[in-house]
């Protein structure tokens, strides 16, 4: 509290690599099945309302990120396909065109209310998949008092 009053920098939260669910298969969000084709997220950093992702995409094209407040315990899988509407994935944030391969994407999230959030990056025309290698990753963020408290990468 004192450090914030004196204008001290708020630390950024980052995950450099790995899948949160590898060591915690029963944690919230970890009982996931592949359903939508999308990039594989290899690292995530949240700082000052901006989420920076390093990802590997299998196909080039136009991409969009979806920001979902209080995502369900199973963020995607059969449930996502049954929803049938992209609006169910949350607020859309256009990311523009990206080539296949490795890329860094910056997603402006702005000020977030306290709670849990999920972010998924998919093509503007998402298509279903049952293969884990081509399925989109999720990033879960916990926000407390307008400061990030945790960042988790969830892979199918």
Strand, coil or helix: what is 77?
A: coil
Q: Is the pLDDT of residue 73 over 80?
A: no
Q: What is the pLDDT of residues 7-41, one digit of tens each?
A: 444 456 666 567 888 888 888 778 777 878 889 99
The region that residue 50 occupies, defined by phi over 0 for left and psi between -120 and 50 for alpha, beta otherwise, is beta
User: Strand 138-144 vs strand 115-123: parallel, antiparallel, or unpaired?
Assistant: antiparallel
61, two tokens: 């094209």
User: According to the model, what pLDDT value does residue 146 have?
Assistant: 66
User: According to the model, what pLDDT value does residue 9 have?
Assistant: 45
Q: What is the pTM of this model?
A: 0.80
Selection from 136, 102, 145, 119 nearest residue 45 by Cα: 119
Domain positions in the chain: 13-154
Q: What is the pLDDT of residues 81-136, one digit of tens each?
A: 454 556 677 888 999 898 888 989 999 988 888 888 989 999 988 888 888 888 88
Distance CA 153, CA 137 (A): 7
Q: Among the listed ranges 54-58, 76-80, 126-130, which one has the minimum average pLDDT value? A: 76-80
CB atoms within 10 A of CB 121: 26
CB 137, CB 111: distance < 8 Å: no
Distance CA 118, CA 139 (A): 6
């Amino acid at each position: 509290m004192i450090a914030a009053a004196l204008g001290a920098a708020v630390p950024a939260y980052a995950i450099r690599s790995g899948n949160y669910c590898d060591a915690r298969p029963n944690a919230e969000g970890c009982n996931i099945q592949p359903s939508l084709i999308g990039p594989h997220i290899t690292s995530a950093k949240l700082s000052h309302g901006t989420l920076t992702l390093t990802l590997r995409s299998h196909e080039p094209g136009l991409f969009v990120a979806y920001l979902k407040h209080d995502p369900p315990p199973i963020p995607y899988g059969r449930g996502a396909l049954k929803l049938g509407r992209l609006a169910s994935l949350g607020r859309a944030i256009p990311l523009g065109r990206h080539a296949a391969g490795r890329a860094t994407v910056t997603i402006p999230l702005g000020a977030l209310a306290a709670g849990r959030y999920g972010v998924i990056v998919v093509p503007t025309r998402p298509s279903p998949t049952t293969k884990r290698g081509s399925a989109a990753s999720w990033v879960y963020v916990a926000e407390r008092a307008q400061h990030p408290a945790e960042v988790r990468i969830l892979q199918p």
